[in-house]
Structure formats: C-alpha cells, structure tokens
A and B are shown apart, each in its own frame.
Chain A
Amino acid sequence: MSEPASQQASVSVGHHQVWVPHPRRVLVFAARVGLHELCALGLGVLLFFVTASCAVYAQSDSPNRSILKGAAVEYLYPEQVNVPASKPTTVTLHFRIAPGMHINSNKPREDYLIPTTFSIPVESGVRLDAATYPAGSDLTLPLDPTEKLSVYTAEFSIEARIVAAPGDHLVEARLHYQACDKDACMPPKTITVPIDVIGK
C-alpha cells in the first residue's frame, strides 16, 4: 500500500535521501500506541543515555595511580562563627586528609619532621590566642619498622581559641603541613582556612 504523498517526507543530506516521518504520522502513531507505551519508550531511551554516560565516565578513569599533587588536606567547616567580641572563644575547626595519606602531627617525634601548625595572620581583626592540636596516632612504615611516626590521618580537628574585634571579619587563617603516603612525600604546603568571624 502506498502512502499518501502528504504523509511522506524526505530530507537531502549530501547525495542521500533521508526518510523523515511526517509530523501528522507521528501524532497518529502516538494516538495509536497510547500514553503508557510512549512513556515506556521514553524511559527506555533515557535509560540508554544514562548507561552510555556511565560507560563514558568509566572509560575516562585511568587505572594507574596518579602522581601525588595538589592539596592533601581539605578544610571542612565551620564557614562562619559568631563569637562574643573581645572575649576569648574556642572554635573547633575540622579538616580532612586525602585517603592513603598522612601528615605529621603538631608534635612529631623527630625534630627534622615538619609539624602541622595553624595560624591567623595579624591585622585580620581576629587574634589566635592559642591552638590545641589533637594527639597524633602512631604510624610505622612497612619498610622502616624501627621508627614510629606521630601523624594525623582521615579527619582531625584543631581547637582554636580566638579573640575577635567587634564586626565582621573574613579571616584567611593558614594550616601548614607536610604530607606523605607510604612511598613518597609531598613538599610542605600551606592552605588557606577561610572563616567568617562575626564579633558581637
């Protein structure tokens, strides 16, 4: 059975004629097929896109261990603190260390190791009165079982006793550390710890 000329359409692509359904045909098809089937078809196509995206994502990941770089420590929270103005107040700052890595604690056992230290620049409107660091946990490298290191791993927090002048202060505090994994060390690094301190 030949179709009416009004329901046939084709588009020229180079030397090829590509068949394109007439919009009215599509509507009639939709009416015949019904809403549920159409939705099922749509979901099927959607599932295909999701699967394809996952495949692309999986391909983009390299199986090799990458070279250590960037910041091994990330500041988590708080972003903002309200403290009584001109009065020493303790604020607990939370940090996270990249998986498989460790940093020296504030009191490493050997004097040649670089301790983790927290500081607040002067003239930021907030003064660091004192910082209390957690005790490090013991770590022994497989190739040097004679030496115990005092380190932080995973998440740790520092209790900073601060004195804020009245007003809103965008403080760029600093955490200085030196990170290693079991096979290599990264150079010492200082990250910014941004905290909005409101002294009331």
Chain B
Amino acid sequence: MHAEPSYNKRREALSSVRRNTLVLFVVLFILATFAWAGWANFEYRRQANEKMLAAAAMQGELVADPVTGTMQYNSPLKGKPAPAFVLEDLSGKKVSLASYKGKAVLINFWASWCGPCKIETPWLVELRDQYASQGFEILGVSTDDIDSDNPKTLASEKADVQKAVTRMHMQYPILLAGSTLDHPYGGLDELPTSFFVNRKGVVVAAQLGLTSKDDIEANIKKALGATK
C-alpha cells in the first residue's frame, strides 16, 4: 500500500529529469550553434578587414584632419621618393621626372572628362604663376585612354587632351600616361589626385579629389620649404 505512491513519485521525478535533460541539450545545442555562427561571422569579418587593410596600405586612405575636419589623403608614398617615370608630352617629346630634381614639383593626375579637375585646374594655373620663380613646376599627367598601337586612335585621343588643355589654359607640361602609372602611384582610383614632391624628389604631401586652393597652396609651400 505504501510502496505505490513512492514508486509513482520516483517515476515522476525520473520523467521530470528526462524532460529537463532533453530541454537542456536542446538549449545547449542552440547556444552552441549561435556561438559557432558568431565565431564564423567574426572570423569572416576579421579576414575581410585584413584584406581591406592590405589594400589600403597599397593605396592609402582618407582621414579626417583633427583640426580642420577636412579629409586628407594619407598616401603610402608620403616620405618616400616619388616613383620615377618617363612619359611623352603632347608633342611626342620624352619627359622624365628625374629631370626636375632640384625643383618642387606638383604631379597632378587628371583627365579631360573629369569635372572636379576642371574646377581645380584654374587654381593650379594661378599657383604655378605665383610660385614658379621660387623653383616650382606642375606636371599635368593625363590619365585619358591612350592607344599607342593605333596611330589613328592615338591622334584622336591626343586631340581630345589638347582640346582640354586649350580650354583650361594649362600652360605647364602635359604628359600622357594612360593607366601606366596607376600601380606605382597607388591605384589612382579617383581624379584629381596630386603628389607634392620636394627638391630632393621625396613626396611630402598628397591630395585625393577636389580640396581647396588653400590646401594646394599649403602643400606647395611644404614642397618648396623642404630645401636646405
């Protein structure tokens, strides 16, 4: 008589433990799945971030100036010798960067179809006039497509660049690069892009996209002031 209730109680307790065991394992399984998904997501993001940083190291990045708040181009070429080049100008004459050693040089990458370049160019023309006497020169490097293998196409492409040069009164040397300098100068994914080179041939500043005449002038002074 006394044994039966005790047996039922034990049976109920056992059933409760079994049910809770099942619930516990289901909850643990769900938690483990979420933990794994979280870890996999974290790993994926970490790898993507590493790839992005590696690419940024090649190309540089835009960072906000803590004082002015303007975006500054932190180029990996800063503090390094400007990558050498020899390019043809519009008349077919070879021009090398090395031949400008001893001068402060602004290498300005632009294109005839680039709207912001059209806004920037008059500033460059004025600044060149202003600082030329101190040993400053601008090399306008056109990134317009150049098909050197096809003389007919080449003539038409050169004519397009010449039209832009005339339209914008660019009185400084214009060199034709096409995409040949994309790699050494960090991708050139945006135009205009400018590198300011001091008299020793070292890049002292860089600008990406349209900034302001004042910013350009400050960097020209930096390039000129590097002389000892």
* A interface, CB within 8 angstroms of B: 26-28, 30-31, 35, 38-39, 42, 45-46, 49, 52-53, 56-57, 60, 63-69, 112-114, 141, 143-144, 147, 149, 178, 180, 182-188
Contact = CB atoms under 8 A, between A and B. Distances in A.
Top 8 closest A-B pairs, CB basis? Answer: A184-B209, A184-B190, A183-B209, A30-B20, A42-B27, A183-B210, A185-B114, A69-B189
A186 B103 CA distance: 30
Given A60-B45, A184-B209, A185-B111, A31 B20 contact: yes
A183 B189 CA distance: 13
A13 B22 CA distance: 30
A113 B31 contact: no
A31 B38 contact: no
B23 A67 contact: no
Interface string B53-65: 0000001111110
A35 B23 contact: yes
Given A39-B27, A42-B27, A67-B62, A185 B34 contact: no
B113 to A, nearest CB: 5
A26 B190 contact: no
B132 interface: no
Nearest to B14: A31
A147 B115 CA distance: 10
Interface stretch (B85-93, B116-124, B150-158): B116-124
A49 B33 CA distance: 11
B192 interface: yes
Given A56-B45, A65-B62, A185-B190, A27 B20 contact: yes
Interface of B: 13, 16-17, 19-21, 23-24, 27, 30-31, 34-35, 38, 41-42, 45, 49, 59-64, 71, 111-119, 143, 145, 160, 163-164, 167, 179, 187-192, 208-211
A156 B188 CA distance: 28
B21 A64 contact: no
Contacts, number: 122
A38 B38 contact: no
B17 to A, nearest CB: 5
Most buried by B among A28, A31, A113, A147: A31
A42 B42 CA distance: 21
Given A35-B23, A68-B190, A144 B209 contact: no
Contacts of A114: 113
Given A66-B62, A187-B111, A188-B145, 12 more contacts: A31-B20, A45-B31, A46-B34, A49-B34, A60-B49, A63-B64, A65-B71, A67-B62, A112-B160, A180-B115, A184-B208, A184-B209
Nearest to B16: A31
Nearest to A104: B113
B130 to A, nearest CB: 20
B45 A67 contact: no
B116 A183 contact: yes
Contact of A53 (B20, B38, B49, B167): B38
Contact of A187 (B27, B35, B118, B143): B143
A68 B163 CA distance: 27
